[in-house]
Amino acid sequence: MTMTSEHGVAVTQHTEEHAHPGPRKYVMVAVTLAVFTTVEVVLSYSDLERWITTILMVGLAIAKFALVAMFFMHLRFDNRLYTIMFCGGLALALTVLTVVLTIQRSFFVF
């Protein structure tokens, strides 16, 4: 619904409310992000093969990105177009990362 304010400016008032999660859910998401970060730190000091560590780190980064976008940026409750744009950006970033890592590996192979 669009109304005009006392200064003659058009103001849009949203009548549709979304059921946002309560504080408990946000704390659970924050704890999950902290656990993922702890796992990343442990992985960085582990003696796993480099390619395994890279795949696990990228997987954790994607999971953290999804949690932050869904809950703290409220994409879970907004228009699907925003979700598609964010997922498209993530897909593009992963494609660029894969290409760069492949090119670097081909240059540094002895």
Q: Does 15 have pLDDT greater than 70?
A: no
Kindly give, in sequence order, each residue whose CB lies less than 8 Å from that of residue 98, ignoring residues fewer than 6 positions away. Answer: none
**So what's the pLDDT on residue 110?**
46
Could you tell me the residue range of the domain that residue 50 belongs to?
A: 23-108
Q: Does any domain span residue 6?
A: no
pLDDT in tens, 22-47: 889 889 989 999 999 999 999 999 99
Contact (Cβ atoms closer than 8 angstroms) between residue 65 and residue 90:
yes
Q: Does any domain span residue 14?
A: no
Over residues 81-85, mean pLDDT:
83
Based on the structure, what is the number of domains in the chain? Answer: 1
Q: Does any domain span residue 63?
A: yes
Q: Does any domain span residue 16?
A: no
Kindly give, in sequence order, each residue whose CB lies less than 8 Å from that of residue 19, ignoring residues fewer than 6 positions away. Answer: 77
